[in-house]
Amino acid sequence: MDAKEAARERMNTARDGLVDLSHRIQANPELRFKEEKASAWVAEALSEGGFDVELGVHDLPTAFIARSGSGPLHIAICAEYDALPGIGHACGHNIIATAAIGAGLAAAKVADDVGLTVTVFGTPAEEGGGGKILLLERGAFEGQHAAMMVHPAPMDTLEPMMIAIEQWGVKYTGKSAHAAAAPQQGINAADALTVAQVAIGLLRQHMRSTDRVHGIVTDGGDAPNIIPAHTAARYSVRARSLEHLDKMREQVRRCFEAGAIATGATLEITTKTPYAQMEHDVAMVEVYRHNAEALGRTFADVGGRRDLSGGSTDMGNVSLVMPTIHPMIGIDSLPAVNHQPEFAAHCITEAADRAVYDGALAMAWTAIDLALDEKQRDRLMAGH
């Protein structure tokens, strides 16, 4: 039996358990950095499959690193398992997590035979917490030659455009006063935020088609008869690349500054380390394509529509450090799309269960091909 068939046989054995786990994670959504059940379940499945598992790595309680094999080519497979506030697993991280387990188990079956070391990374808080960025900064990915994961979507896509994002916390401080009896004594922090929002709306005429600015108000005041002394918002600023994000950052900051200038309120902005744009490794993408198509997956020609997408991921930061792929795996959810409650419901359908299997095996086969292809193996190990 060749390596790929041995990997398929291992995946066939694991399939039912992975589908059950996918459904269990979907039914128990946990927010970023609080994925205690999901991370434990995923780590346990890998441990039972023969992986050496380290829990709570790099001061992240819900992160883990699981290793198997001792070959020279080190492949990282990333598992995500956090949910979205209010709408649960509407981005399908239950599928991501279980496909990662399956890929790890299937590749580990033949790792020493083909020259692989397989490492599954449990990466918390993709939805806004930047777990992979923290793991990168703390050295978790050192020694890895390439990384991969699959992400559910309405349809299969090889190189989805994932853009850079920076998250902002915005606070205005003014002065309270009676809104009817003495409004002239107040400084309205809510008005400052309103001015900023209007300015951002006007800025959109001058933004690139791949730029995005969007946010929510988290504190708009306490009562209608009190001039608000404090308002707060959370905003996301996105652009095609970190370079483009520099310009957007300056433009959007001026919009918030306008609110402070217009009202006399003071402004405080806090930011997190940005998510970088996703840079797909072209050669790895083609290997994945071949394997996914062998499993019956098809990739539509999206043409210019690719440039209209605007999601972001901390896997982008990984892709700037090592060759990386982040294909989308279809679950036939249309008209439902990611981050809708309807999409969460689609993540435990028969099509979603098939995505767990296909995504896992396509990644495992891709890792095997990369290890057996001398040119690709040498390229990746040389850091290209």
The DSSP symbol for 239 reads E
- The ranges assigned to domains in the chain are 3-162+278-381, 164-271
- Given a cut of 90, whether residue 315 has pLDDT beyond it is yes
Locus of tokens 């935020």 = 193
**What pLDDT is recorded for position 13?**
97
Phi, psi of 120 (to 5 degrees): -100, 125
pTM above 0.75, yes or no: yes
Predicted confidence band of residue 383 (pLDDT cuts 50, 70, 90): confident
Q: What is the mean pLDDT of the chain?
A: 95
User: Which residues, in sequence order, are bridge partners of residue 88?
Assistant: 84
Predicted confidence band of residue 279 (pLDDT cuts 50, 70, 90): very high
pLDDT tens digits, one per residue of 261-270: 999 999 999 9
More confident residue, 63 or 305: 63
Which tokens belong to 316? 């982008």
What percentage of residues in the chain have a pLDDT greater than 70?
97
- Given a cut of 90, whether residue 1 has pLDDT beyond it is no
**What pLDDT is recorded for position 309?**
59
Determine whether domain 164-271 maps to CATH 3.50.50.60. Answer: no
Nearest to 318 by CA among 111, 119, 176: 119
Could you name the CATH architecture of 3-162+278-381? 3-Layer(aba) Sandwich (3.40)
Helix, strand, coil fractions of the chain, as percent rounded to 5: 45, 20, 35
Q: Exposed, middle or buried: residue 201 (CB in 10 Å: 0-12, 13-18, 19+)?
A: exposed
Average pLDDT over residues 272-295: 97
Predicted confidence band of residue 301 (pLDDT cuts 50, 70, 90): confident
